[in-house]
Amino acid sequence: MTVLSNKRGIDLDEQVPEAPASGLAPSPAEGAARRTPGASVRAYVALTKPRVIELLLITTIPVMFLADRGVPPLSTVLLTLAFGTMSAGAANAINCYIDRDIDAKMRRTRRRPLARHQVTPARALIFGVTLAVLSTVGFLLAVNPVAAAGSLFAILFYVFVYSLLLKRRTSQNVVWGGIAGCMPVLIGWAAITGSVAWTPLVLFGVVFLWTPPHTWTLAMRYREDYAVAKVPMLPVVASERRVIVESLVYTYATVACSLLLWPVAGMGPVYGAVAVVLGLVFLAEGHRLLKAVRAGVTGVHLRPMRFFHLSNVYLALLFTAVAVDPLLY
């Protein structure tokens, strides 16, 4: 299990509190001087981007309930969460190593451990690779080979396809890079069943389609950061109107895909009702943005972060319904 950047991919890794404007990164000597055992532990934990991992786990656990059509074995859940956390942490730590140059330029990311010289690049890379090996072996020995393969694929895709190939080259980076962030759905299903089926593939599609509007509205808020770092996120290279229109298209596709799960997985009325209501609210917020930009509203006055935060709530509640529905029907 690994990132969405996001923070896909999803570049979910962008969900980081903004650093104060005056919070300049220390020099390497200053960073070394400040290291204590506790500070070092916190720095290595920060490399894994815990807030990103939390979001990924939201999509893993409910799928395990759906795959089991009830309460899954606690041992399997705990092992999947443990190795999934390590897997996501591995991808995030290696991403920090790759992006250490641009992280130092962006206000939101310049307080990360490598930008502040709290961890050396070599140690960050070794840490990430070690987590990747341990998580893959752990899945293989304690869960099953299918889950292990999914975890390894997610790490490799996030590192080599998203971080190294797509992120700095194309405005479609989070669209295709987000595939890594969808993998927890397949991993959670495989951990229970040892296979992949249409049901998790539909949920994979939900997360895949959800990621672009989720990430693009965040990038609208931090457009200047991306521009300074020369990362061609869509809000950097396209007009606000185009970003919102494309985000709304993906939002419609997300809602449609969420409703497709109803017949494919034989879900009950609870999931159906939740998916419909959440979808209407999600679309209404997208149309609010579109109406505002058509009226000439620009910049922070568009309030794109409202959509961003709502998208988090949407995904969390939708997957909660995925977990609850099979317990009732």
Q: What DSSP letter does each residue of 166-222 carry, written as one string?
A: ITTT-TTHHHHHTHHHHHHHHHHHHHHHSS--HHHHHHHHHHHHHHHHHHHHHHHHT
Q: Is residue 246 one of the residues assigned to a domain?
A: yes
Q: Is residue 151 one of the residues assigned to a domain?
A: yes
Average pLDDT over residues 302-310: 96
The more confidently predicted of residues 32 and 282 is 282
Report pLDDT for 39: 86
| Confidence (pTM) | 0.88
Encode pLDDT of 105-144 as tens digits. 998 888 999 999 999 999 999 999 999 999 999 999 999 9
Instruction: Indicate the pLDDT class of residue 158, thresholds 50, 70 and 90.
Output: very high
CA pair distance 283, 164, nearest whole angstrom: 33
Instruction: Indicate the pLDDT class of residue 261, thresholds 50, 70 and 90.
Output: very high
Mention every residue, 6+ apart, whose C-beta is less than 8 A from residue 150. 1, 183, 186, 187, 190
Report pLDDT for 28: 54
Q: Is residue 6 one of the residues assigned to a domain?
A: no
Dihedral angle, C-alpha 79, 83, 88, 91, nearest 10 °: -170
Show the domain range for 113.
12-328
CA pair distance 258, 308, nearest whole angstrom: 18
Average pLDDT over residues 145-172: 97
Mean pLDDT for the chain overall: 90
Q: Is residue 86 one of the residues assigned to a domain?
A: yes
Q: Is residue 135 one of the residues assigned to a domain?
A: yes
Taking the alpha carbons at both ends of the chain, their separation in whole angstroms is 28
Count: domains in the chain: 1
Q: Is residue 217 one of the residues assigned to a domain?
A: yes
Instruction: Indicate the pLDDT class of residue 38, thresholds 50, 70 and 90.
Output: confident
Report pLDDT for 52: 83
Q: What percent of the chain has a predicted confidence (pLDDT) above 70?
A: 89
Report pLDDT for 34: 55
Residue 272 sits in a domain of what CATH number?
A: 1.10.600
Average pLDDT over residues 220-248: 95
Encode pLDDT of 268-285 as tens digits. 999 999 999 999 999 999
Per-residue three-class SS string for the chain: CCCCCCCCECEHHHCCCCCCCCCCCCCHHHHHHCCCHHHHHHHHHHHCCHHHHHHHHHHHHHHHHHHHCCCCCHHHHHHHHHHHHHHHHHHHHHHHHHCHHHHCCCCCCCCCCCCCCCCCHHHHHHHHHHHHHHHHHHHHHHHCHHHHHHHHHHHHHHHHHHHHHHCCCCCCHHHHHCHHHHHHHHHHHHHHHCCCCHHHHHHHHHHHHHHHHHHHHHHHHCHHHHHHHCCCCHHHHCCHHHHHHHHHHHHHHHHHHHHHHHHHCCCCHHHHHHHHHHHHHHHHHHHHHHHHHHCCCCHHHHCHHHHHHHHHHHHHHHHHHHHHHHHHC
